[in-house]
Amino acid sequence: MNSNKPSIKHTYIDGQQILFPSQMDWESLQLNPLIDDSPLAILDSIWSALEFAQKYPEIHLGLGKISSGKKWMPYIFLDIESNFQRVHLETLTCSFCNWRGKTANPMIIGLYFGDGINQDDFTLMKAAERYPVLPCPSCGNRLPRHPIWVEPVNYKD
Ligand SMILES: [Zn+2]
């Protein structure tokens, strides 16, 4: 696939060029995971991340170059306060009520590596501290780690 395809959205986040392929582009990439002849990295986890991002409009899966353009790394972004914030999705369990769900944590230094990133990784990670840390969506107690987004509780009848 060519990165100049009109269906692929291009944007710059923290100075790094990020591609947002359309749903149809992702389907083609599942069959042939190459863009401009560079392979997609971490293929085992990228498709579950894509499925998750399709469920929640505020979660976006993009691709950015790393290792001097040798490969495309998947990056997950949370649309928060008009910013696209780099996050790591992780499953947490509340120690008070046993709620278990996906959460988004920006406090992982590895999120801030990539070609073209124009600020120090630690500075970018520290800047993400401005977002409020969210409590358990079920009981309101403090969750472990540093979630700035939590999967909503699925209410059952
Ligand atoms: Zn709880």
Q: Tell me the pLDDT band of 45, cut-offs 50, 70 and 90.
A: confident
User: What range defines the domain where residue 20 resides?
Assistant: 9-89+104-132
- Residues surrounding ion ligand 1 at CB below 5 Å: 94, 96-97, 99, 136, 138-139
φ/ψ bin of 69: left (φ > 0), alpha (ψ from -120 to 50), beta (otherwise): left
State the average pLDDT for the chain.
94
Examine residue 121 and state whether it is found in any structural domain, yes or no.
yes
> Would you state the pLDDT for residue 155?
55
Question: Residue 55's CB: how many other CB atoms inside 10 A?
Answer: 9
Examine residue 85 and state whether it is found in any structural domain, yes or no.
yes
How many angstroms is it from 146 CA to the middle of ligand 1?
A: 15
Closest CA to 76 of 46, 34, 102: 46
How many angstroms is it from 143 CA to the middle of ligand 1?
A: 7
Examine residue 98 and state whether it is found in any structural domain, yes or no.
no
Examine residue 108 and state whether it is found in any structural domain, yes or no.
yes
> Would you state the pLDDT for residue 68?
85
pLDDT, tens digit (0-9, with 9 covering 90-100), for 50-87: 999 999 999 999 999 998 888 999 999 999 999 999 99
Examine residue 26 and state whether it is found in any structural domain, yes or no.
yes
> Would you state the pLDDT for residue 42?
74
Examine residue 2 and state whether it is found in any structural domain, yes or no.
no
> Would you state the pLDDT for residue 153?
86
pLDDT, tens digit (0-9, with 9 covering 90-100), for 90-129: 999 999 999 999 999 999 999 999 999 999 999 999 999 9
Examine residue 156 and state whether it is found in any structural domain, yes or no.
no
Burial of 64 (0-12, 13-18, 19+ CB in 10 A): buried
